[in-house]
Structure 1
Amino acid sequence: MQIEPVFTVPPRLVSLLAQHSGLGSSDPEVPVFSPSHTSVQVLADRINATGAYIENNGTEQWVGCPLRVHRRCADPMFSIANTIAYSEKMVFHGYNKPESRLPPENSFDLGQSSWITLGGSASDHQVVTEQIHFTLRAVREVLHLTGGLPDFYIISPFRRIKAALIETLGNLDNWEMGNSDYLPKTALTKWCRERIGTVHTFQGKEESTVLMVLGCDGETAGAAQWAASKPNLLNVALTRAKHRFFMIGDPVIWGGLPHFSVASEQDLPRITPEEFMRRIEIACEKENEG
């Protein structure tokens, strides 16, 4: 239930290759082998006699010999992903060790994973300026209190939000330091390149803490509906985080959408931006004491 890969081979070439290999058919009963419509994973599942049917977006999907034991994420990321994408069929590797579902004691812990409620008007399609500036404020606070940039991933469903985040956080003028030696431009550029991106580009990666900037307002709610149309995008976003996951967005826009409603109701309590900033202060104090 990961995000499908982007396939860029022209459809005409795919059709010619299908005809040449004898796999082209207009019969709807014949399985589709076109890489434009079917992944290698689905083809492998199709020929596996051992497996299970799993409900996927309203249909039953055959999953061959599924890998069911999940090891990366603590709760609530594991439980939410299990609900929205895997029909509760995943098994947590530390099922008999409740402590294994919590961040390690020596981690930079911002408290319970939460939904940071922050809306606003979108500009440049899905970009909500208030969310971009809040993210800058949060990262800047960690730098000021600890002397280092945080080991966060900052992800979004949308490329325009990614671009806005990199433009804003990558601009030294926005850091209110007055001393470029404290945060060299090269170090900041490298951090932005490695730490900010879309959900698609971060698939396969993992980090202790992940912030997800949702964007969108009432005028661009269609983009939010697209992001929520399948469980895949939220599933991948959630499971990048090993220990803590924070969504930054307007629950009025996102809270009632498919899959996001589960995240809203299941172990992602809503907090204010100021509450999150207080958590940063507390975490940084503990970090400095340690």
Structure 2
Amino acid sequence: MFSLFNDIAYNGIMVSGVTRRPDHFDSPNGARIPASRWLDEAATTAGTHLQRNQIARLRRQIEALRDDGIAADEMIAISPFREVADHLGRLDQDYPGLRAGTIHTAQGREADVVFLVLGGDPTAPGAKAWAAATVNLVNVAASRAKRRLYVIGDQSAWAKHHYFNQLAAALDQSTRQDRQGA
């Protein structure tokens, strides 16, 4: 994650001071937790940024991580849109300890796993353009993740926009390396 936001937001000038120890994310025998990736879920519901299929995908991912020993309090779920963030905030009823909100509310917080649930009304492309107007949203989302970033959203729609296209490319590379065992 460090290299992702270092490249996108800081043109590679930051230096990481983090030393990794073997654990369930990065072990000598191979990571049990999948690499950071974009989990493609189309946005098909017009008139709302809240895409129920993306929330269902988030729930499946949280449950899979919990099965692998990652507690909900080690996760943050964020979105650029208030409508989606409000829904994410209600998930703590099912996943006690899960922190959720807008990307802006995540500033100053970190978690081992960050879910960026993009949502996005498929009939409102201006909202995606707003989110992509500066590097800030992608930078804050990526830099909150200490170990893994999972983006849930309509990749073809979001990757048309600056910064999100870089995020998609970086996560696609991470996924390819994970599949190859690199």
TM-score by length of 2: 0.79
- Name the counterpart of 1:78: 2
Contact 1:214 1:248 survives alignment (8 Å): yes
- Name the counterpart of 2:143: 239
- How far, CA to CA, are the matches of 1:144 and 1:111 in structure 2? 13
Determine whether 1:117 maps to 2:23: no
Structure number with greater CO (CA < 8 Å, separation at least 6) is: 2
Deviation at 1:89, TM superposition (A): 2.1
Contact 1:159 1:198 survives alignment (8 Å): yes
Query: How many residues end up aligned between the 2 structures?
Result: 169
Contact 2:6 2:13 survives alignment (8 Å): yes
- How far, CA to CA, are the matches of 1:204 and 1:147 in structure 2? 21
Deviation at 1:112, TM superposition (A): 1.5
- Name the counterpart of 1:251: 155
Contact 2:49 2:120 survives alignment (8 Å): yes
The alpha-carbon distance between structure 1 residues 124 and 203, as it changes in their structure 2 partners (threshold 3 A), is farther
Determine whether 1:162 maps to 2:85: yes
Contact 1:84 1:231 survives alignment (8 Å): yes
Contact 1:210 1:240 survives alignment (8 Å): yes
The alpha-carbon distance between structure 1 residues 85 and 143, as it changes in their structure 2 partners (threshold 3 A), is closer
- Name the counterpart of 1:140: 63
- How far, CA to CA, are the matches of 2:12 and 2:67 in structure 1? 42
The alpha-carbon distance between structure 1 residues 254 and 147, as it changes in their structure 2 partners (threshold 3 A), is closer
4+ residue runs of structure 1 moved beyond 3 angstroms?
A: 140-150, 267-271
- How far, CA to CA, are the matches of 1:147 and 1:117 in structure 2? 22
- Name the counterpart of 1:106: 23
- How far, CA to CA, are the matches of 2:167 and 2:65 in structure 1? 26
SS for the counterpart of 1:236 is: helix
- The share of aligned pairs that are identical, in percent, is 32
- Name the counterpart of 1:92: 16
TM-score by length of 1: 0.52
- How far, CA to CA, are the matches of 2:9 and 2:100 in structure 1? 25
Give the AA of the match of 2:85: K
The RMSD of aligned alpha carbons is 2.6
Contact 1:127 1:215 survives alignment (8 Å): yes
Deviation at 1:171, TM superposition (A): 5.5
**Structure possessing the higher radius of gyration over alpha carbons:** 1
Contact 1:156 1:162 survives alignment (8 Å): yes
Deviation at 1:86, TM superposition (A): 1.5
Contact 2:5 2:143 survives alignment (8 Å): yes
Deviation at 1:208, TM superposition (A): 1.1
Determine whether 1:126 maps to 2:49: yes
- How far, CA to CA, are the matches of 1:243 and 1:78 in structure 2? 9
The answer for unaligned runs of 5 or more in structure 1 is 1-76, 95-99, 173-187, 272-290
Determine whether 1:191 maps to 2:97: yes
